[in-house]
Amino acid sequence: MKKFNTIIIGAGIAGITAGHELKKNNISSIILDKNSSWGGLLDNFTIDGYRFDKFIHMSFAKDKYVNDIFLKTPHYKRIPKIANYYKGFWIKHPAQNNLFPLNNDEKIKILQDFKKRDDNSNKFGNYEDWLRFQYGNYFAENFPMKYTKKYWTVNADMLETKWVGNRMYRPSLKEIEKGCKSSDTPNTYYAKELRYPKKGGYKSFLKNIVKDLNIQQNSNVVSIDLKNKILELSNAQKFKFDNLISSVPLTEIVNIIRNSPRDIVESAKKLNYTSGYLISLGFNRVDIPKDLWFYIYDEDILPARVYSPSLKSVDNVPDGCSSIQAELYTNKGYQFKKSKNEILNNVIKKFIKMGLFKYEDLVVKDIRFEKYANIIFDHHIYENREKVLEYLNENSIISVGRFGEWEYYWSDQSMLSGRDGARKLILNKNYN
Ligand SMILES: Cc1cc2nc3c(=O)[nH]c(=O)nc-3n(C[C@H](O)[C@H](O)[C@H](O)COP(=O)(O)OP(=O)(O)OC[C@H]3O[C@@H](n4cnc5c(N)ncnc54)[C@H](O)[C@@H]3O)c2cc1C
Is 195 in contact with 58 (CB distance < 8 Å)?
yes
Which among 371, 367, 370 is positioned nearest to 47, based on CA atoms?
367
What SS3 class is residue 190? coil
The verdict on 284 and 365 lying in the same domain is yes
Bond into 94 cis (ω within 30): yes
**DSSP run (H or E) holding 84:** strand 82-86
Q: Work out which ligand 1 atom sits closest to the CA atom of 41.
A: 29
User: Can you tell me the distance from the alpha carbon of 18 to that of 213, in angstroms, rounded to the nearest whole number?
Assistant: 10
Torsion of Cα atoms, 346 then 348 then 351 then 352, to 10°: -110
Residue 291 belongs to a domain? yes
What SS3 class is residue 25? coil
Is 365 in contact with 344 (CB distance < 8 Å)?
yes
Query: Could you tell me the distance, in angstroms and rounded to a whole number, from the CA of residue 6 to the centre of ligand 1?
Result: 21
Query: Could you tell me the distance, in angstroms and rounded to a whole number, from the CA of residue 411 to the centre of ligand 1?
Result: 8
Q: Considering only CA atoms, which residue is closest to atom 53 of ligand 1?
A: 373
Q: Work out which ligand 1 atom sits closest to the CA atom of 305.
A: 1
Query: Could you tell me the distance, in angstroms and rounded to a whole number, from the CA of residue 409 to the centre of ligand 1?
Result: 9
The alpha helices in 104-249, defined as continuous H runs, are 104-115, 127-135, 137-142, 144-151, 173-181, 207-210
Q: Work out which ligand 1 atom sits closest to the CA atom of 220.
A: 42
Q: Containing domain of residue 163, as a range?
A: 106-180
CATH number at residue 258: 3.50.50.60
* CB within 8 Å of 333: residues ≥ 6 apart: 275, 371
Query: Could you tell me the distance, in angstroms and rounded to a whole number, from the CA of residue 178 to the centre of ligand 1?
Result: 40
User: Can you tell me the distance from the alpha carbon of 357 to that of 349, in angstroms, rounded to the nearest whole number?
Assistant: 10
Residue 56 belongs to a domain? no
Q: Considering only CA atoms, which residue is closest to atom 39 of ligand 1?
A: 248
Residue 52 belongs to a domain? no
Q: Measured between alpha carbons, how far is residue 180 from residues 242, 273, 294 in Å?
A: 62, 36, 20
146 φ/ψ angles, rounded to the nearest 5 degrees: -70, -40
Query: Could you tell me the distance, in angstroms and rounded to a whole number, from the CA of residue 288 to the centre of ligand 1?
Result: 29
Q: Considering only CA atoms, which residue is closest to atom 20 of ligand 1?
A: 411
The verdict on 209 and 176 lying in the same domain is no
Residues of the chain scoring pLDDT < 50: 432
Residue 83 belongs to a domain? no
The verdict on 263 and 219 lying in the same domain is yes
Residue 208 belongs to a domain? yes
Query: Could you tell me the distance, in angstroms and rounded to a whole number, from the CA of residue 290 to the centre of ligand 1?
Result: 28
CATH number at residue 335: 3.90.660.10
Domain termination residue (choose one: 147, 180, 213): 180
Q: Measured between alpha carbons, how far is residue 149 from residues 8, 114, 153, 155, 201 in Å?
A: 35, 22, 5, 5, 30
The residue to mutate among 57, 196, 311, having the most atoms of ligand 1 within 8 angstroms of its beta carbon, is 57
pLDDT of residue 379: 94
Q: How many domains does the chain have?
A: 3
The verdict on 348 and 280 lying in the same domain is yes
List, in sequence order, every residue forming a beta bridge with 296; answer none if it has no partner: 85
The verdict on 279 and 328 lying in the same domain is yes
Query: Could you tell me the distance, in angstroms and rounded to a whole number, from the CA of residue 391 to the centre of ligand 1?
Result: 22
Q: Is the CB of 410 under 6 A from ligand 1?
A: yes
Residue 342 belongs to a domain? yes
Residue 332 belongs to a domain? yes
Q: Measured between alpha carbons, how far is residue 221 from residues 42, 135, 240, 268, 422 in Å?
A: 20, 46, 13, 18, 20
The verdict on 286 and 331 lying in the same domain is yes
99 φ/ψ angles, rounded to the nearest 5 degrees: -85, 5
The verdict on 389 and 264 lying in the same domain is yes
The verdict on 264 and 286 lying in the same domain is no
Q: Is the CB of 12 under 6 A from ligand 1?
A: yes
Q: Is the CB of 75 under 6 A from ligand 1?
A: no
Q: Is the CB of 307 under 6 A from ligand 1?
A: no
Q: Considering only CA atoms, which residue is closest to atom 35 of ligand 1?
A: 10
Domain termination residue (choose one: 339, 370, 401): 370
Q: Is the CB of 415 under 6 A from ligand 1?
A: no
The verdict on 260 and 407 lying in the same domain is yes
Q: Is the CB of 15 under 6 A from ligand 1?
A: yes
Q: Is the CB of 373 under 6 A from ligand 1?
A: yes
What SS3 class is residue 207? helix
Residue 318 belongs to a domain? yes
Query: Could you tell me the distance, in angstroms and rounded to a whole number, from the CA of residue 249 to the centre of ligand 1?
Result: 10
* Extended strands (E) in 259-360: 274-283, 293-296, 305-307, 322-331
The verdict on 338 and 252 lying in the same domain is no
Q: Work out which ligand 1 atom sits closest to the CA atom of 274.
A: 53
Domain termination residue (choose one: 180, 212, 228): 180
User: Can you tell me the distance from the alpha carbon of 5 to that of 156, in angstroms, rounded to the nearest whole number?
Assistant: 45
Q: Measured between alpha carbons, how far is residue 154 from residues 112, 150, 235, 413 in Å?
A: 27, 8, 37, 25
Query: Could you tell me the distance, in angstroms and rounded to a whole number, from the CA of residue 427 to the centre of ligand 1?
Result: 26
The alpha helices in 257-314, defined as continuous H runs, are 262-270, 309-312
The verdict on 117 and 245 lying in the same domain is no
pLDDT of residue 432: 43
Query: Could you tell me the distance, in angstroms and rounded to a whole number, from the CA of residue 310 to the centre of ligand 1?
Result: 22
The verdict on 260 and 394 lying in the same domain is yes
Q: What sign results for the dihedral spanned by CA atoms 154, 158, 162, 166? A: positive
Query: Could you tell me the distance, in angstroms and rounded to a whole number, from the CA of residue 110 to the centre of ligand 1?
Result: 37
